[in-house]
Amino acid sequence: FIGKLTEKLPDAPGKDEPDSHSLVFSVFMVLPLLPSGALCREVIFSGSEEVGLNPDSLGCAVDAYAHHIAVDSMYEVVISDIQGIITPDHTIIFFDPQSHMAQGDSGYWDHGQSAITEFLESHKCNKHCKALGLDTE
């Protein structure tokens, strides 16, 4: 799940102070321990600042998922840096995505409205977007 703190975090420690914060950013994601090993395959679907334009069916579905997030959030949020692990039973587990929020407040990587605009200008709708009824403009 994705969480967002409702109260301000304490200031970060100074250069020579120990970092004893349990959270560094106010927006965070929690997920279970990821499987690994020779039978699992890591796949990168999009970059931290690049929209996914995947040619294969799974990649196109992930691109449509990113489009869905933008539409469902009323264009207030896009996700990038989408990567996942594909397990032997063909389950895919996403991990370590980045978010860009209209307010630009989800972390130092958040490029705010400019990243949302870039996504909307660069994303190419595919058959999955159309099947989900996502706007194609």
Beta strands in the chain (DSSP E): 2-4, 27-29, 41-44, 77-80, 83-86, 92-95, 98-101
Cα–Cα distance between 4 and 25 in angstroms, integer? 9
Q: Are 116 and 78 in contact (CB under 8 A)?
A: yes
Its pTM stands at 0.73
pLDDT of 48 strictly over 90: no
Residues 86-98 pLDDT 10s: 999 999 988 888 9
Share of the chain above pLDDT 70, in %: 94
- State the pLDDT at residue 137: 57
Helix (H, G, I), strand (E, B) or coil at 113: helix
Report pLDDT digits (tens) over 16-30. 888 776 676 777 777
Residue of 102, 95, 96, 103 lying closest to 120 (CA atoms)? 102
